[in-house]
Amino acid sequence: MHPVCIVMIEDDEGHARLIEKNIRRAGVNNEIVHLRDGASGLRYLFGADGSGEVSAGRALLVLLDLNLPDMTGVDILTRMKANRHTKRSPVVVLTTTDDEREIQRCYDLGANVYITKPVNYEGFANAIRQLGLFFSVMQVPEMD
């Protein structure tokens, strides 16, 4: 059985660094793969051929930002939940957007958790640390 890998699709370097720091502070030592834009995120999840076979046998937990420079995270979420290799991977949407319709849309598309990044840093750090604690207890299935 593969160890769970955390895939973080986040264009903001600073955010990525802060997220990683706080997850680590929660005692999570899993591998964190940071992808800086939508295209590289898709390539990592679905491979160069886009079939998603590359993810077969992986145990992935995806941290997804919606505001990416080249596409919206909603597109990545849609493709993941439509692909048989990636559809069971838990997806945590972690974004600044707190628009109600956007939240509904993400859950409709199969997002497992939706978290709005708190603006003040204490809140942000706290949220990420709790998310890390949550990661440490949650089950992530290995994919077909």
Partner 1 sequence: MAPSRVLPIVASVVFVLFIVGAAWIAGSLATRTGLVQHSLTVETSLSDLLSSLQDAETGQRGYLLTSDEAYLAPQIRASEAIGAEFAALRAAIVDNPTQLQALSELQVVTEARLAILRHAIELQRVGDVAGALAVVRSDRGRDLMDHARAIIAGMRAEEARVLVRRSAAAAFFSRTLLGVIVASGILALLSVGLWFRGAHRYAGVLERAREDLHSANTGLEAKVAERTAELRDSNDEIQRFAYIVSHDLRAPLVNIMGFTSELEATREDIRAELPETPKSQAIDRDFAEALGFIKAAIAKMDGLIGAILKISRDGRRAFRPELLDVTALVRGLADAQRHQAEEAGAVVTVGALPAITADRLAVEQVFGNLLDNAIKYLDPGRRGRIEVSGQVIGPRVRYEIRDNGRGIAPSDHERVFELFRRAGAQDRPGEGIGLAYVRMLVRSMGGRIEVASESGVGTIFSVTLLRTPPTV
**What is the contact surface with partner 1 in residues (CB under 8 A)?**
12, 14-15, 18, 21, 67, 96-97, 99, 117, 119-122, 124-125
Minimum distance of partner 1 from residue 129's CB (angstroms): 13
Contact 93, 62 (CB under 8 A): no
Measured distance CA(119)–CA(48) in Å, rounded = 36
Round to whole Å and give the CA distance between 5 and 34: 11
What is the rounded CA–CA span in Å between residue 71 and residue 140? 26
Q: In terms of CB distance, is 99 or 144 closer to partner 1?
A: 99
Nearest distance from C-beta of residue 119 to partner 1, angstroms: 6
Cβ closer to partner 1: 85 or 117?
117
Helix (H) or strand (E) holding 17: helix 13-25
Closest approach, Cβ 26 to partner 1, in A, equals: 16
Distance CA(51)–CA(72), nearest Å, equals: 20
Q: 3 or 14: whose CB is closer to partner 1?
A: 14
Q: Which residue, 89 or 97, is less far from partner 1 as judged by CB?
A: 97
Smallest separation, CB 86 to partner 1 (Å): 27
Rg (CA), the chain: 14
